[in-house]
Amino acid sequence: MAIYTEKVMEHIASPRNVGVLEDADGVGTVGNPVCGDMMKIYIKVNGDRIDDIRFQTFGCGAAIATSSILTELAKGKSLDEAMAITRDTVARELGGLPAQKMHCSNLAADGLHEAIRDYQARREGQE
Amino acid sequence: MKTIYLDHSATTPVDPEVVQAMLPFFTERYGNASSIHHAGRDAYDAMGAARESVASLIGASPDEIYFTGGGTESDNLAIQGYAGHPVNRKRGKHIITSKIEHHAVLHTCQFLERQRGHRVTYCGVDGNGVIDLDELAASIADDTILISVMLANNEVGTIEPLREIRRIVGDRPIAIHTDAVQALGEMDIDVNELGVDMMTLSAHKVYGPKGVGALYIRRGTRVGPIMHGGGHERRKRPGTENVPGIVGFGKACELLARDGAAVRERVARLRDRLVEGVMARVDDVVLNGHPTRRIPRNASLCFRGCEGEALLLHLDMAGICASSGSACTSQSLEPSHVLAAMGVPIEIAHGVLRLTLGKGTTEEEIDYTVDTLTSVVDKIRGISAALGV
Ligand SMILES: Cc1ncc(COP(=O)(O)O)c(C=O)c1O
């Protein structure tokens, strides 16, 4: 079984920013339940900053921990800064992830990028 | 934090009586059982006593018991040693097994297919994990030489109908092997009543030491060695015998003969308390495996909306040792081949949790586990909620 860092375990034990943002400005969904990992990232944008962020995740420990830490990393960031957060950033912040978890469960950054694109698409729709 | 060990199908603690029986064979009675001198004879005699206690537990005779380095080796010896024996190789190259075997059997069969030109039929199972006997009967061919079907499944605990398989085979010259690693100690086993020709056993699942097992080989069944060396174990398994381990295995079998039935009854009651407790308090749970024809210690449950590894990690934080077999906890990241064969949808199979009780399990531990599991599932579902999983 995968061995996780203390930081990963800590996020699994008490994940941050779990839940739904009812009035989200952007939502990103990645993965699927057949693969065993699926997540949804909700963002609230103020100006060009991410004011609030929430996540929901179905998946293994790595999937939960990467979602949780991603919300911490993204909160308060500008959209450009948030777009620059990658899977590697997430893994690094957690003190590393087991090799076999890097691909299938490290989806949170993708989810965030999806949410930002969703926000941008909605804005373009309004203009 | 107290450890609550509910992973007895993975391995068991060595019983203190077993440890006591083994200890002298490290320090004072260290002879090599092949030596002529009295130290060697002492080790040889101790192995003989162990052989008798293993044999008598399964209704075999001592000269039909061959000690090995564990369940995996016994499975390999049975399948490769039988299929590879020159006489059997001439008779045919077809083997029948099931889709839910342990990898020690499945991968050995795949090896024979790829490297030795054998043909293998992997029979399916029903939703309870019971082998499809019609498929098995229909797949018997003129060149079938061996059928290998486990007595009890390690993931879901279902007991397989070995006696019916013998009835189907009748007196055709087809050997029947069964991997009884998970069945030993969990049910009465008699090789003659079951009508099997070979049976795999492992010590560490029954409060004995790791790295020791046995293969029962019915007299007259042609099995050649798969390793080459000295003439140990009547030329079937070379190598200086693991005397302390073998003595420990013998003692473990003696304890099963003495206490097994009582332990089983207690464990079954606790297992039912666990399953009923979880079912009463958690929604969307299913018990995997056969509802009644299952080994007493096994509770395999699928929790919708939870992933097995996340369940395990949270239970571990609360001191509870369990196992999953979900894709994320297997080295291969493949979901369970057993649940897949049973037709469990993959998104449900991701939420599998296996709790296996043992003779040290208490009612308090079970109640604590039900409480913990209830809140852990709640927590995990809180994170995955509304994803429609
Ligand atoms: C059904 C079954 N067969 C074989 C084995 C392998 O036994 P061992 O660990 O002694 O090699 C196990 C245990 O993992 C098992 O559950």
DSSP states of B23-85 as a string? THHHHTS---TT-SSHHHHHHHHHHHHHHHHHHHHTT--GGGEEEESSHHHHHHHHHHHHHTS
Question: By the CB < 8 Å criterion, does A103 face chain B?
Answer: no
Measured between beta carbons, the chain A residues lying within 8 angstroms of B317 are: 9, 13
**Chain center to CA of B111:** 20
> What contacts B111, CB < 8 A, 6 or more positions away?
B80
Domain boundaries, chain B: 4-11+260-387, 16-255
Beta bridge partners of B147: B96, B176
Structural domain contains residue A4? no
Going edge to edge, which strands form the sheet with A49-58? A26-32, A37-46, A49-58
Q: How far is A110 from chain B (nearest CA, A)?
A: 17
Q: How far is the CA of B313 from the centre of ligand 1 (A)?
A: 24
- A29: domain CATH number? 3.90.1010.10
Q: What CA–CA distance (Å, rounded) separates B328 from B335? A: 8
Structural domain contains residue A5? no
Measured between beta carbons, the chain A residues lying within 8 angstroms of B308 are: 60
ipTM of the complex model: 0.91
Q: How far is the CA of B71 from the centre of ligand 1 (A)?
A: 5
Residue A117 belongs to domain spanning:
19-122
CB B177, CB B197: distance < 8 Å: yes
pLDDT in tens, chain B (389 residues): 899 999 999 999 999 999 999 999 999 999 999 999 999 999 999 999 999 999 999 999 999 999 999 999 999 999 999 999 999 999 999 999 999 999 999 999 999 999 999 999 999 999 999 999 999 999 999 999 999 999 999 999 999 999 999 999 999 999 999 999 999 999 999 999 999 999 999 999 999 999 999 999 999 999 999 999 999 999 999 999 999 999 999 999 999 999 999 999 999 999 999 999 999 999 999 999 999 999 999 999 999 999 999 999 999 999 999 998 766 666 666 779 999 999 999 889 999 999 999 999 999 999 999 999 999 999 999 998 767 66
Structural domain contains residue A34? yes
Handedness of CA B4, B15, B211, B156 (dihedral sign): negative
Which of A60, A67, A104, A105 is best to mutate for the B interface (most B CBs within 10 A)?
A60
The CATH number of domain B16-255, selected from 3.40.50.920, 1.10.3720.10, 3.50.50.60, 3.40.640.10: 3.40.640.10
Q: Is A60 a catalytic residue?
A: no
Structural domain contains residue A116? yes
The second-level CATH assignment, the architecture, of B4-11+260-387 is Alpha-Beta Complex (3.90)
Structural domain contains residue A47? yes
Q: Which two tokens stand for residue A20?
A: 């739904």
Helix (H, G, I), strand (E, B) or coil at B317: helix
Strands B65-68 and B213-217: antiparallel
Structural domain contains residue A12? no
Q: How far is the CA of B76 from the centre of ligand 1 (A)?
A: 11
| Model confidence pLDDT, tens digit, residues A79-124 | 999 999 999 999 999 999 998 888 778 899 999 999 999 999 999 8
- Domain total in chain A: 1
Q: What CA–CA distance (Å, rounded) separates B264 from B266? A: 5
Nearest residue of A to residue B346, measured between CA atoms: A34
